[in-house]
Amino acid sequence: MLPTPSTSHVSFDRVYEPAEDSYLLLDTLSSESEKEFLQDRFTHSKPPTSTPPKNSPSPLIIEVGSGSGVVLSFIHAHALTIFGRSDILTAGIDVNPHACQATIQTIRCAEKEQEVSKTSHGFYLGNVAADLTGALRCGEVDVLIFNPPYVPTPNLPSLVGDPKLSAFDADSHLLELSYAGGEDGMEVTNRLIESLPGILSRDRGCAYVLLCAQNKPEVAKEGIRKWGSRWMAETVGSSGKNAGWEKLQIVRIWRESPPISTT
């Protein structure tokens, strides 16, 4: 098992604390089957070596809702094991500026650990505060990771907190943004999913989105497959089985790549 990055420096009063959902993402992304999928897609040499094939552009990995940074720094630190190459570009997005700072710090700690043990890591671009993929240029993201606010709630909190809120209420608002998902817990996730055809890279783009049973994952997957014959959506990781229902699952969304051109 690959070590989990430390997040002990993060203040969990206003940033989502890593929980079962975060760990399911780590386990899924480092599973044998996902490593194989990612290495097939982004590296054509096996077993992993530190030299990626010439002229294969560095993949761009973006985590939306990076929170404490535990998932992004895990991928960043273990790039060579997961992708078969360490020349990956990583970046985080979060609506909560405190979460952006937390991610930056967690990445820094993870990089130090890797450097102490003389192992490689990816190249971290930074974090931006934004609403989902709204600030991203079209067609650039190769791997998008999203652990959404998936809890069904009667209302969605506004993206920007009222400046008149007390410090305690401002923190509560930020935490609410990290879990409150509106109707079926899907209002935020649906907006993210709708943006995927535009922001994922044409030939290599794929996304990992976490869903819970109340999100009606089968409906979500069917919806994506209707985008066109190349679009795929499959459950590639799950946890918390309860009478045949997966409590949490990771759905991989991708376009089957066209045949690789040799020119």
By CB under 8 A, name the binding residues for other proteins: 51-52, 54-58, 60, 87, 89, 91, 95, 97, 100-101, 104, 123-131, 134-138, 140-141, 159-160
Which of 33/50 has CB closer to other proteins?
50
Rounded CA gap, 63 and 215, in Å? 20
CB of 42 to other proteins, least distance (A): 11
Of the pair 102, 233, the CB lying nearest other proteins is at 102
What is the signed CA dihedral for 159, 162, 165, 171, rounded to 10 degrees?
Answer: 10
Q: Give the nearer residue to other proteins in terms of CB position, either 9 or 225.
A: 9
Q: Write down the residue that tokens 């999100």 correspond to.
A: 215
Closest approach of Cβ 242 to other proteins, in Å?
37
For 70, counting Cβ atoms within 10 Å of its Cβ (0-12 exposed, 13-18 middle, 19+ buried), the class is buried
Nearest-approach distance from CB 120 to other proteins, in angstroms: 10
Q: Which is nearer to other proteins, 54 or 241 (CB)?
A: 54
- As measured in angstroms, the least distance from the Cβ of 239 to other proteins is 32
- Would you give the end-to-end CA distance of the chain in angstroms? 39
Report the distance separating Cα 148 and Cα 66, nearest Å. 10
Q: Which pair of structure tokens corresponds to residue 260? A: 């690789």
Q: How far is the CB of 80 from other proteins (least distance, A)?
A: 12
Q: What is the DSSP letter of 214?
A: G
Output Rg (C-alpha) for the chain, integer angstroms: 18
* Of 20 and 131, CB closest to other proteins: 131
